[in-house]
Structure 1
Amino acid sequence: MTIHKEGHSLLITLMVVFFVLNSALFYFIPEAKLIQGISITVSVIFFLLILQFFRNPKRSIPQGENLVIAPADGKVVVIEQTNEGEFFKDERIQISIFMSPLNVHLSRNPISGIIKYFKYHPGKFLVAWHPKSSTDNERTTLVTENKNGVQVLYRQIAGALARRIRWYVNEGDTVGQGEEYGFIKFGSRIDVYLPLDAKINVELDQKTRGGETIIATL
């Protein structure tokens, strides 16, 4: 397992801050052993929590033009038929995966193909499970078309804490199934919109592993 590039600068900054803070405590109040111990313990725990947030584990990615792979680690919180009003403007099956701060937060392509549509939307920072977070929050929308002409839309959505969405692809790019296409810092969700005839392979409250769990079959 490696550490994701989005965490490098933050982790280095935290190391410097904690080193300076704890060194100052030892220098200015050397007799305060209890305070020093508490400070070191809190620093280590906090650093490890942030470190695990940016972990980037290796995954065994199943391949198949008819497979739709989970774009993120998390929990399935929505499976429903709904109207997708930004790109398709018709009825689709929506699957939403919520990521807690303890999940891996990189975003993966659910299918292989060509990105036919990409748009970044600035917006609000409602909690990720709010009904209007899909349309009102800061978000990105991507549509990938596979070689069979089937299109899948997926959307990174910021939450109350997740205020930094990163993406590494653009319209016209060719992407591989399970490959990383972005990152959401500190918890949020990803929505996937599928054709109505897709077979859903997950259930509500099921835990997913990005790049491994097959959430649907086209």
Structure 2
Amino acid sequence: MFHKEGNKIIVITLVLVVAMFLLIDSFINISWLRILLMLTVLAFLIIILQFFRNPKRLTAANNKTVVSPVDGKVVVIEEVFEKEFFKEKRLQVSVFMSPINVHVTRYPIAGNVIFSKYHPGKFLVAWHPKASEENERTTVVVENETYGKVLYRQIAGALAKRIVNYAKVDDIATQGADSGFIKFGSRVDLFLPLDTKIKVELNQKVRGGESIIAEVND
């Protein structure tokens, strides 16, 4: 299953692959070279298809937990001052996505979307300390009565050229549901209440919509 954001690119890629196969078959007479070129073109198609895959995820809906919004590796767990919305200290958990990860963004909690804003910006590498404030990004805040307010920020990486964000103010968010897509390498930051109980560790691999990032500290 492929994400709808990849439909146009996948169709264009398929047309190019077919055209390349025909050209290679018509003009390359050396057998080993023809096979090598065809395999290279096929590998390119597989990479594009893999990037836009959209696997089904089984989210165990729970208003006391925050699930990972994306697939990737946890690269930051720290207390920071969040400047844009909360303007106070929060626990930041960041997940870095490599180009081979699924790039679908999912709602980390269920609730009401109370803030959603797009920021144009630079394309620093996603792990750069200033990427969260200077790169192209979107900020979304979802609130429910059990967990309170959770902010997640889609951040473009050096290869990303477009962030897609479906979340709009007053939307009803379903935990684990599709909330957007980031094309070609990126990161997502979560900003959580200070009394949150973090359930992941640095360098841990997580799955969007399934891995529990944090839970209410009872």
SS in 2 for 1:202: coil
Number of paired residues? 216
CA distance in 2, matches of 1:187, 1:26: 34
SS of residue matched to 2:115:
strand
What is the CA distance between 1:147 and its match in structure 2? 2.9
Name the residue aligned to 2:59: 61
Q: CA deviation at 1:148?
A: 3.4
What residue is the counterpart of 1:89 in the other structure?
87
Q: Which moved more, 1:15-24 or 1:74-83?
A: 15-24
Shift in Å, 1:126: 0.2
Aligned ranges 1:175-190 → 2 under 5 Å:
175-190=173-188
Spell out the pairing of 1:95-110 with structure 2 (5 A cutoff): 95-110=93-108
Contact 1:71–1:109 (8 Å) recurs in 2: yes
Which consecutive aligned stretches of 4+ in structure 1 deviate over 6 angstroms post-superposition? none
Deviations along 1:98-128, one digit per CA (max 9) or x if unpaired, are: 0001100000000001111111000000000
| Maintained 8 Å contact 1:109/1:180 | yes
Aligned to 2:165: 167
Structure 1 stretches lacking a partner, 5+ long? none
Distance 1:6 1:117 in 2: 23
Q: Does the CA-based 8 Å contact 1:139-1:157 persist in structure 2?
A: yes
Q: Which residue of 2 aligns with 1:8?
A: 7
TM-score of the pair, normalised by structure 2: 0.96
1:23 counterpart SS class: helix
Deviates more, 1:34-43 or 1:71-80: 34-43
* Partner-residue secondary structure (3-state), 2:63: coil
Q: What is the CA-CA distance between 1:149 and the residue it aligns to?
A: 6.7
Which residue of 2 is the match for residue 17 of structure 1? 16
Contact 1:22–1:36 (8 Å) recurs in 2: no
Distance 1:17 1:125 in 2: 28
- In structure 1, how many angstroms separate the alpha carbons of the residues matched to 2:2 and 2:116? 27
Aligned 8 A contact 2:70 2:103 in 1: yes
CA distance in 2, matches of 1:148, 1:21: 55
Contact 1:201 1:214 in 2 (8 A): yes
Query: TM-score if structure 1 supplies the norm length?
Result: 0.96
CA contact (8 A) 2:115 2:141 kept: yes
Corresponding residue for residue 121 of structure 2 = 123
CA distance in 2, matches of 1:27, 1:205: 49
Deviation, structure 1 residue 7: 1.3
Give the secondary-structure state (helix, strand or coil) at the position aligned to 1:127.
coil
1:69 counterpart letter in structure 2: V
Relative to structure 1, the CA distance from residue 119 to residue 112 in structure 2 (aligned partners, 3 Å threshold; closer, same or farther) is same
**Counterpart code for 2:67:** I
Tell me whether 136-145 or 41-50 shows the greater mean CA deviation: 41-50
Partner of 1:28: 27
Q: Which runs of 5+ in 2 are unaligned?
A: none
- The alignment's C-alpha RMSD in Å is 1.0
Amino acid at match of 1:140: T
Identity %: 53
Deviation at 1:34, TM superposition (A): 2.4
Deviations 1:165-207 (A, max 9, x none): 0011211111100001000011100000000000000000000
The aligned residue for residue 138 of structure 2 is 140
Give the whole-Å Cα distance in 2 for the aligned partners of 1:52 and 1:125.
23
Rounded to whole Å, the distance in 2 between the matches of 1:70 and 1:20 is 40
Q: What CA distance in whole angstroms lies between the structure 2 residues aligned with 1:11 and 1:38?
A: 22
